[in-house]
Structure 1
Amino acid sequence: MATTVASSSGTGSPKDAPPRRPGYGQLLRTPGIAGFLLSGFAARQPFGMLTMGMVMLVEHTTGSYGNAGAVAAVTGVSMAVFAPQNGRLADRHGQRAVLVPGVILHAVSVAALAALALADAPLWALFLLAVPAGASVPQVGPMVRARWAGKLAGSPLLPTATAFESVTDEFTFVIGPVLATALCTGVHPVAGLAAEATLTLVGGLLFAAQRAGLPGDGHPGPATGPDSGTEPGAAASSQAGRDTAGSRAGTAGPSSALRVPGVRVLIVAFLGIGVVFGGMQVSLTAFAEESGHSGVNGLLYGIFACGNMLSGAAVGAIAWKRPAHGRLLVGYTALAVVASTLWAVHSVPLFAVVGFLTGLCVAPSLVTGYTLIDALVPSRARTEAFTWLTGAVALGQAAAVTAAGRLADAHGSQAGFLVPALGTLAALLTLALLRERLVPGGAKPPAEGAEEPAPGV
């Protein structure tokens, strides 16, 4: 796709001109993307709905936030363990071959778990079904990113697409938990999981149907025509590993994303972000009940997630000069500071303000972390790298819902809010100590004010 970014000066060189990025509107006019974007949005709702729907249903049937958090934790751990494997299988065999059986298994597992919970089945039975429910969560976000990479290879729109996907993830975090809460409190405690399973099945099958291969027999080169396909072929990732022209990270290096030191640092950072999501979901539910307004948790979580989405859109629209690893450290510091105040909030109006500020601080770290993957990881391993990060969020969420649930049962919601504080502080310490590993190519950090060598968010 041959898109040119104009300089802001008529005579100045691109090196002297301030950086500019093609906007979201130009991105969304790319031919042939509507089908996989709309179906992909529906199919990625499990990440936002599953934990909240499960917590509210199991708490309703068992009367314990600890039990609810434990079942949700098993789901999250299972997702974290199997997400990278799903990413590798999609790279090797094609997205459709992984998605179709996966979404069917997920819908059946969630339906069976909900039925057992309503039948007051023993806790071990819920744990048993939570494993396939988490393992089969479709990794649609990484798959959509892989499709963008094939559709826009070599185009200046690709960094914009990376930012757009992060904003879409944020919107999922807004819609999913709020929708699950509204359905569970306004319709029936099982309605959240029922809607999650339905959206996953329908959206996943529709997304898998958008399967026409890229031009060039799987070569991930630019696709410009309206009939160009979007699904990377099974051979696309191997060819991408041999093609140095389209990869800033190059092809030399490990074949597994987990062997890249910077990826391991980002996994820790995303674990901390998952702790924020999990701790907020459980502790907010307990906080709402303690305040005597059980339905307000959906509103408060929505305010938190709206802050998240708004800052994600703003961060993604800016072409930054500051290096991405430096932005990540600054953004994560802000997140840790604000998250450390949640436990001290005792009123609903004040929590709306602090929750919104917390949300504002989450998105910059998410967007920047995903951007760093593009510079740190060889093209042949990027889909796997993205699934490691989404799996890390799920694992952090799983640990947080368990810990926050136990603390909320024993000591109230304020104790549950300590979990996001401790999780983000621990992750921030890791980022500060290992920040050199986030510099692409192991190079020294560029001077302050210097433009990044690779376009990013």
Structure 2
Amino acid sequence: MRAYGEVLRVPGLARIIFSQLIARFPAGMMSLGILMHMEHVHGTYSAAGLVLAAFSVGMATAGPFITRLLSRFGTIGVLLTTAVVSCAALLVMATQALPLWVDVLAGIVAGAATPPITPTVRTLYPRMVQQRLLAPLFSFDAALQEVIWIFGPVLVTVLVSLLGTGPTLLVTIAIQFVGALLFIAAPEVRRLRIPPTTRKLGRVLRKPPVLLSVVISAMFIGGFAAVEAGVVATFGEGALEAGIVLAVSALGSLLGGFALGHRGITPWSVAIRLAIVLLGMVIALPLSDVVGLSIALFIAGLGTAPALAAFSAIVAATVKFADTPEAYAWIGTGQLLGAAVGSAIAGVAIDAIGGVGGVWVAVVMVAIAAAVAAIFRRHQPDLRHGIGDPPDTAPVELPR
């Protein structure tokens, strides 16, 4: 825990962590909020799912393009513009009763213009802390991210019961916009200058560590999307038991991030951390009760945040500073696509054999991810002695 104390004593870092957490908090609210409101407006979950899919596709496809604009037009300009455009599109969805095709179009725009908070903050971290503290910082960041998934869905359901779907979506939009402004207002963000990249879009994927991180994290997150669908199917839509099990899993991830964050990352780290996730999911296979599934997915959660932190550290160690935002965006795109594939396959398996079908899909996907990480471990860096000095950046304006 001493490493976390050192991290939080870095000037300005606590402010950055808090502001980016607020800015990213709607990620745990938006999907459920859009789904509920669109079902209320259009009357079917099929229509609601179509709008939500449009939102996810927009986010997944535009992410790498948007992040490349950070160096061309400046961090503040891109963050502010995307926040305004995304919130404006969401406002249309929240306040107007429009044809389905208009809501689908608004969903694409809102997703595509989602402010690139995560790539920006993970690009900023190496500018703020000593290199030996980067691995604990990435783990701390990944662990705190679970707060979003523990409390976000709960907050949405409570607000919907009190206010209705439209006002709840408005609250979510307000949190996203205020969080983005808080993040933009931080002096460290305003001083961040990312030099223009000389590479074409997608060239960063030629780096084996980056490509592996994209592929492995896509399979890994796809597995979690599948097990989530399996848990919901086991207990029934809207059942409190499903929420409890998934919250316990997120709690395991939170604790795992803090417990393993100080450990150095080796070429075996990703495979080992995914093996912990796989163990928990295998234990979950024969179980259908709340207590059993909670324990099993708590174990799976222990490896989640540490695995996500390893991907961030690998990018920071192997990619030039100018290309890191795009690399993080590709990882995000892979995770979104993995979640979509995992959910789709899980749906077929659940229809065939019930909730356990989703867990089986999760086991297969996470097993593939762990196997790929182990087989191609030589393409992953050894960071036990630190991430190393980051590449030079553009001049940074110092406060007067």
Give the TM-score band, short-chain normalised.
0.7 to 0.9
| CA pair 58-355 structure 1, distance change in 2 beyond 3 A | farther
Q: 1:307 to 1:352 in 2, by over 3 A?
A: same
* Residue of structure 1 aligned with 2:32, choices 47, 52, 63: 52
Deviation at 1:58?
A: 4.8
Check conservation: 1:22, 1:160, Cα contact below 8 A: no
Give 1:362 deviation, angstroms: 1.5
In 2 relative to 1, CA 182–414 (structure 1 residues): closer, same or farther, beyond 3 Å?
A: farther
Of 94, 98, 121, 1:144 maps to 121
Q: Which residue of 2 aligns with 1:390?
A: 332
Quick check: 186-195 or 95-104, which moved more?
186-195
Residue 199 of structure 1, CA deviation? 1.0
Q: Residue 200 of structure 1 aligns with which residue? A: 176
Return the offset for 1:194: 3.3
Cα deviation, 1:248-293, whole Å, max 9, x if unaligned, reads xxxx9x9942221111111011112321343344444443326xx7
Q: Which moved more, 1:254-263 or 1:98-107?
A: 254-263
Alpha carbons of 1:82 and 1:433: their partners in 2 closer, same or farther (altered >3 Å)? same
The answer (yes or no) to whether the contact 1:174–1:306 under 8 Å persists in 2 is yes
Aligned equivalent of 1:134: 111
1:39 aligns with 2:19: yes
Which residue of the other structure, out of 316, 327, 332, is the alignment partner of 1:374?
A: 316
Give yes or no for contact 1:307–1:360 (8 Å, CA) kept in 2.
yes
Aligned residue number for residue 366 of structure 2: 424
What is the distance in 2 between the residues matched to 1:66 and 1:402?
A: 14
Q: In the alignment, which residue of structure 1 is the partner of 2:221? A: 274
1:85 and 2:44 equivalent? no
1:389 match: secondary structure: helix
- 293, 300, 306: which one aligns with 2:251: 306
TM-aligned CA deviation for residue 43 of structure 1 = 0.7
Could you say what secondary structure the match of 2:114 adopts? coil
Q: Which runs of 5+ in 2 are unaligned?
A: 389-400
1:258 matched to 2:205? The reply is: yes
Structure 2 partner of 1:237: 195
> Which is worse superposed, 328-337 or 403-412?
403-412
Match of 1:76 in 2: 56
CA distance in 2, matches of 1:173, 1:397: 15
- Conservation of the 8 A alpha-carbon contact between 1:39 and 1:206: yes
Return the alpha-carbon distance in structure 1 between the equivalents of residues 224 and 146 of structure 2: 11
The one of 185, 191, 194 aligned to 1:209: 185
Instruction: Give the 3 Å change call, closer, same or farther, for CA 364–150 of structure 1 in structure 2.
Output: closer
Q: 1:245 maps to what in 2?
A: none
Equivalent position SS for 2:310: helix
Corresponding position of 1:176:
152
Structure 1, residues 310-336: CA drift from partner, whole Å, max 9, x if none? 1011111x233xx52201111112323
Question: The residue matched to 2:57 in structure 1 has which SS?
Answer: helix
- TM-aligned CA deviation for residue 370 of structure 1: 1.5
Deviation at 1:350, TM superposition (A): 1.9
Matched to 1:295, the amino acid is L
Q: 1:99 is matched with which residue?
A: 79
Structure 1 residue 306: deviation in Å? 0.7
| Partner Cα distance (1:72, 1:342) in 2 | 29
- 1:30 counterpart SS class: coil
Equivalent position amino acid for 2:114 in 1: V
Deviations 1:79-132 (A, max 9, x none): 12111222211133222111112112222222333456xx5954x444333211
Instruction: Give distance in 2, aligned partners of 1:111 and 1:61.
Output: 14
Q: Is the 8 A contact 2:281 2:363 kept in 1?
A: yes
Distance 1:32 1:431, change over 3 A: closer
In structure 2, the CA distance between the partners of 1:422 and 1:132, relative to structure 1 (3 Å rule), is farther
Distance in 2, Cα, partners of 1:257 & 1:231: 26
Asked if 1 retains the 8 angstrom alpha-carbon contact of 2:132 and 2:385, the reply is no
CA deviations over 1:378-436 (Å, ceiling 9, x no partner): 22212221222222222222333444456556764333334323322332333233332
Q: Which residue of 2 aligns with 1:319?
A: 263
Contact 2:52 2:107 in 1 (8 A): yes
Question: 181-190 vs 196-205, which deviates more?
Answer: 181-190
Q: Letter of the aligned partner of 1:165 in structure 2?
A: D
Cα distance in structure 2, aligned partners of 1:208 and 1:332: 34
Greater Rg over alpha carbons, structure = 1
Distance 1:109 1:366, change over 3 A: same
Q: Which runs of 5+ in 1 are unaligned?
A: 1-20, 213-228, 243-251, 441-450
What displacement does 1:42 show?
Answer: 0.9
Which of 377, 384, 391 is matched with 1:452 structurally? 384
Q: Which amino acid aligns with 1:380?
A: A
> Which range is displaced more, 350-359 or 33-42?
33-42
- Whichever residue aligns with residue 38 of structure 1, its letter is F
Secondary structure class of the residue paired with 1:346: coil
Letter of the 1:454 counterpart: G
Using the TM superposition, name which of 167-176 and 326-335 deviates more: 167-176
Greater CA drift, 135-144 or 171-180 = 171-180
Tell me if structure 2 keeps the 8 A contact 1:283–1:417. yes
Judging by fraction of residues, say which structure has more helix. Answer: 2
Quick one: percent identity of the two aligned structures?
26
TM-aligned CA deviation for residue 141 of structure 1: 1.9
CA contact (8 A) 2:132 2:386 kept: no
Q: Show the counterpart of 2:292.
A: 350
Task: Provide the C-alpha distance between the structure 1 equivalents of 2:183 and 2:231, rounded to a whole number of angstroms.
Answer: 33
Scaled by the length of structure 1, the TM-score of the pair is 0.74
Given the superposition, is the C-alpha separation of residues 49 and 163 from structure 1 closer, same or farther in structure 2, using an over 3 Å criterion?
same
Question: How many residue pairs align between the two structures?
Answer: 388
TM score, norm. by length of structure 2: 0.83
